[in-house]
């Protein structure tokens, strides 16, 4: 169990970092999009990808924060290729604009990491009048992925390398309603912040599973996976100050730090073929 620091068959454990897992890997020539890369595990994921030569495109709601992260990455890795493009996953119009801008650049796309998210806010509707967590955590990424699929398929054919889509889900999916309440997603009277979060994370998993099925059926050189990043101290609980305080205190003993988290992303599909699989 990770709590006790035991290492798995891979030789990596809870204390392993993304740098540990990616040691010796060269990602030159690969291009990745990381959503929510202006803070937390998204930042660390972008940093380590860039460190290994991957061209990283950060999809972020706060572009000022994104540029600050970019500058920090460049200070550490001066020759890194990092771009920042505005992306608000809670707005379908913003998702469409981001995808259109990305495609207009003519860039390939080997890796798509759907990481951005919001956790357990008070009941709120997005700009599209959809419950905020379902809109941000699932629908935004669902649309983004669909809009970029042709580019990813084209890249995998031309580069002859397996592409990779990773949905950052959560063990919180176990706290979802019984199934997904499609007819009550926007119903404030039945809203539970935690259950709604779990519902959105369950949708991430189902999305990845369906993509994986389609790719196998179409014999496309793409894979889709979802993962639980582990218990980690991030700003996701910012909507619950008391719980955040408790987690901060308990987390000193049980939660992973941000540099320790993304190793789950790197190792999750490491056994698959191709350089992209090695990086993820």
Residues labelled catalytic? 191
Question: Which pair of structure tokens corresponds to residue 269?
Answer: 């599909």
Tokens matching residue 72: 């920090």
Element (H, E) at 153: helix 140-159
Q: What's the Cα-to-Cα distance from 80 to each of 115, 148, 194, 213, rounded to whole Å?
A: 21, 23, 38, 35
Cross-strand bridge partners of residue 70: none
Q: What distance in Å separates the CA atoms of residue 136 and residue 109, rounded to the nearest whole number?
A: 22
Please report, to the nearest 10 degrees, the dihedral formed by the alpha carbons of residues 136, 141, 143, 148 taken in order: 150
| Helix (H), strand (E), coil (C) string for 176-191 | CCCCCCHHHCCCHHHC
């Amino acid at each position: 169990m990770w709590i006790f620091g035991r290492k798995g068959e891979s030789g990596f454990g809870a204390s392993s970092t993304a740098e540990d897992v990616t040691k010796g890997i060269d990602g030159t020539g690969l291009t990745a999009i990381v959503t929510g890369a202006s803070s937390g595990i998204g930042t660390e994921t972008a940093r380590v990808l860039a460190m290994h030569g991957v061209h990283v495109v950060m999809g972020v709601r706060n572009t000022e924060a994104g540029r600050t992260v970019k500058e920090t990455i460049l200070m550490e890795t001066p020759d890194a290729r990092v771009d920042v493009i505005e992306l608000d996953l809670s707005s379908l119009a913003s998702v469409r604009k981001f995808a259109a801008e990305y495609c207009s650049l003519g860039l390939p796309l080997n890796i798509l990491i759907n990481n951005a998210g919001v956790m357990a806010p008070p009941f709120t509707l997005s700009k599209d009048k959809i419950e905020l967590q379902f809109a941000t955590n699932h629908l935004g990424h669902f649309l983004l992925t669909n809009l970029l699929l042709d580019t990813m398929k084209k890249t995998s054919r031309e580069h002859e390398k397996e592409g990779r889509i990773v949905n950052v889900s959560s063990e919180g999916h176990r706290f979802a309603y019984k199934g997904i309440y499609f007819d009550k997603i926007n119903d404030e009277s039945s809203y539970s912040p935690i259950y709604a979060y779990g519902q959105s994370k369950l949708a991430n998993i189902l999305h990845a599973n369906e993509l994986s099925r389609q790719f196998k059926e179409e014999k496309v050189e793409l894979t889709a996976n979802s993962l639980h990043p582990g218990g980690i101290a991030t700003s996701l609980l910012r909507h619950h100050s008391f719980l955040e305080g408790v987690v901060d205190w308990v987390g000193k003993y049980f939660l992973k730090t941000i540099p320790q988290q993304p190793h789950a992303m790197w190792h999750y599909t490491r056994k698959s073929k191709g350089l992209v699989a090695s990086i993820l």
